[in-house]
Amino acid sequence: RVPLRLRPRFSSLSSIAGSISTLVIGEHEGGAVKAPTLSAVEAAKYLGEGNSVSVLLAGTGSSLQDAAEHAASCHPSISQVIVADSDHFVHHLAEPWARLVQLVQQREGYSHIVTVSNSFGKNVLPRAAALLDVSPITDVVSISGPNQFVRPIYAGNALSTVRYTGNSPCLLSVRSTSFPEPTVAADFRAEKAPISQVDLSAFDEDSIRKSRYVKLTSQETERPDLGNAKVVVTGGRALKSAENFKMIEKLAEKLGAAVGATRAAVDAGFVPNDLQVGQTGKIVAPELYLAFGVSGAIQHVAGMRDSKVIVAVNKDSDAPIFKVADYGLVGDLFEVIPELLEKLPEK
Ligand code: FAD
């Protein structure tokens, strides 16, 4: 373990261009860094040559320590792993995390702070930005230098190139689907990155009592995580009921895929809202996206248009989903899915 080094604090945009150092706000699970965090590390590469990337991990116990060891050895760009060991960070409440980011920033003076554009990042980043008195740039899909970024607007129908002209640090949330993890050999690193502990003595607990962890309700599932799955099978309102939606789940099981849903299917109560894909749901970019009974509203397409291959089944040949589909079948899903289930081999 090495102590945190004190770096000069940058205060203006001109400093950003001169010296790049990035803090990636990391997530971990089961003793390993989550894949989207590594995408954020990958994104940081594009901020500039010689960028020194630190990953901040927090929580408690052996799972945190294992994740720190993992972070120290799993990506060539990580030059330091910073660990905050405290119960405050276990449940991903935004207030303690935002305060932690502020504390680390005050000591380290990074030019950039990057998080993933998921529910955790979307929760923490604006609060951290407020504490640091800067404006965050969200949903970044491309980075061309320390202060130039591309982000979708109008539900993904246009891309806007924005230049950050604020004070340092520049806070970004990035879409993990736009920065795939690199494939690296297991033994690519001769030396692990150093792991340092955050000194939490200045962590004022009174400032973080604004939210309280109550409970976690999650579904036990063997299926891959929707955000990272290589194959996603999505059902829309046309499924008509939760009972019928089980066809989508069976198909996903056979294909080793994640299940997605449109907002109409979620609102109708067929599936929980953590399966929603789209502008107000999850953004996915799998190798294969299968959409059954999905009209292709712009708010849905905003969440899946970057999929490599899109297959749509819809009984209306004019459905907008066919405009983004690589393969389309005009047909009744109540005939097509049973046939697929019958013909596909068991997994
Ligand atoms: P519908 O639009 O009703 O389409 C059903 C489709 O199924 C139709 O095309 C029909 O031809 C076809 N169909 C019917 N029966 C069959 C059959 N037997 N076999 C085959 N095809 C059949 N939506 C999202 O999905 N995600 C979002 O994140 C999201 N965010 C939103 C944010 C805002 C601010 C707003 C205003 C809307 C948002 N929506 C979102 C809602 C979006 O506009 C659409 O209403 C929704 O995506 C429609 O869902 P759907 O395609 O299941 O239903």
- 299 CA to middle of ligand 1, Å? 9
- The atom of ligand 1 lying closest to the CA of 332 is 19
Name the pLDDT band for 3 (thresholds 50, 70, 90): very low
Confidence at residue 290, expressed as pLDDT on a 0 to 100 scale: 98
- CA–CA dist 302, 105 (Å, integer): 33
Is the CB–ligand 1 distance for residue 282 below 6 Å?
A: no
Confidence at residue 188, expressed as pLDDT on a 0 to 100 scale: 66
Alpha-carbon distance values, 74 to 59, 143, 186, 297 (Å)? 19, 22, 8, 39
Quick: pLDDT tens for 239-287.
999 999 999 999 999 999 999 999 999 999 999 999 999 999 999 999 9
> How does strand 142-143 pair with strand 137-140?
unpaired
- 12 CA to middle of ligand 1, Å? 45
Is the CB–ligand 1 distance for residue 240 below 6 Å?
A: no
- CA–CA dist 309, 120 (Å, integer): 28
Distance of CA 238 to the CA centre of its chain: 29
Q: Residue 182 above 80 pLDDT?
A: no
Is residue 234 within 8 Å of residue 290, measured between CB atoms?
yes
For a substitution probing ligand 1, which of 259, 298, 310, 314 has the most ligand atoms within 8 Å of its CB? Answer: 314
Take residue 85 and report the two structure tokens written for it.
């060991």
Q: Look at the pTM and tell me if it is higher than 0.90.
A: no
Q: Return the exposure string of 246-270: e unless at least 16 CB atoms fall within 10 Å of the residue's CB, then b.
A: ebbbbbbbbbebbbbbbbbbbebeb
Quick: pLDDT tens for 37-96.
999 999 999 999 889 999 999 999 999 999 999 999 988 899 999 999 999 999 999 999
Quick: pLDDT tens for 217-226.
777 778 888 9
- CA–CA dist 289, 307 (Å, integer): 6
Q: Find out whether the peptide bond into 169 is cis, omega within 30 degrees of 0.
A: yes
Q: Residue 113 above 50 pLDDT?
A: yes
- 261 CA to middle of ligand 1, Å? 9
296 labeled part of a ligand binding site: yes
